[in-house]
Amino acid sequence: MLFILPSLHPLQARAQAARRIIDSRPLLIEALSRDIISHAALAEKLKKDIELELGKKVNLPAIVMAIRRYSEEMEPLIKRKISFRFNSEIIMKTGLVDITLVKTPSALSNLKEIYSLMDYEKGQTLNVIQGNYEITIVINNKFRDRVLKIFKDEKILNIEEDLVSLTMSFSKEFLYTPGILARVTRELAWENINVYENISTMTELIFIITKKDAVRGYKVLQKIVDSE
């Protein structure tokens, strides 16, 4: 038996097109949530994209209406307070380097030498992030040359220096509370702060950013702590 799905009403089609485009651009959602963007101005910017998606001309007032309705619908979700508790202040560590290399059996075997370099009682930093095909090592800059020597036979993909880590501590409910990571990264993105690495454990959330963004990044995270 052949089932024919009914086509969307033009109003519904416009609304869905507007929503899809807005949802694909997180900063637009942030701007709408802060009420700092005109619906009419946004409609003008999105008009061509919506027309391209629908394959036909769309009048501007219809787009404005779709944006306004979507903004009203998502307002309760955006304004809903995410409930979680911080256990400590923001911790900043400077003088870090981020080294990324190809993941190979020999590289994995050599990782144990990296761990042997560390004296954690002195506050030294080591974060090892393994992907499917790459390994990233975040470590104190003074160990840079020794790390490169250990991995001299491996393919180094990238090295970023003059980095800083910012660590936030949470209660263990962090693992089970949706929206915390999205909220923090959204605030950093809003301030045009690039995150090189994002590392999380059961109760810690660590952002690796560049030294030039350290003070602004610290202020962003502290503002979130103070707002709770």
- Each residue of 151-198: pLDDT tens digit? 999 999 999 999 999 998 877 777 777 777 877 888 898 888 999 999
Residue 72: its pLDDT value, please? 80
Task: Give the residue from 190, 180, 181, 228 showing the smallest Cα distance to 29.
Answer: 190
- Each residue of 81-101: pLDDT tens digit? 555 565 567 999 999 999 999
Answer whether residue 132 shows pLDDT above 70: yes
Residue 164: its pLDDT value, please? 97
Across all residues in the chain, what is the average pLDDT?
A: 85
Which pTM was predicted? 0.69
Interior angle at CA 165, CA 111 and CA 179, nearest 5: 105
Interior angle at CA 142, CA 137 and CA 145, nearest 5: 70
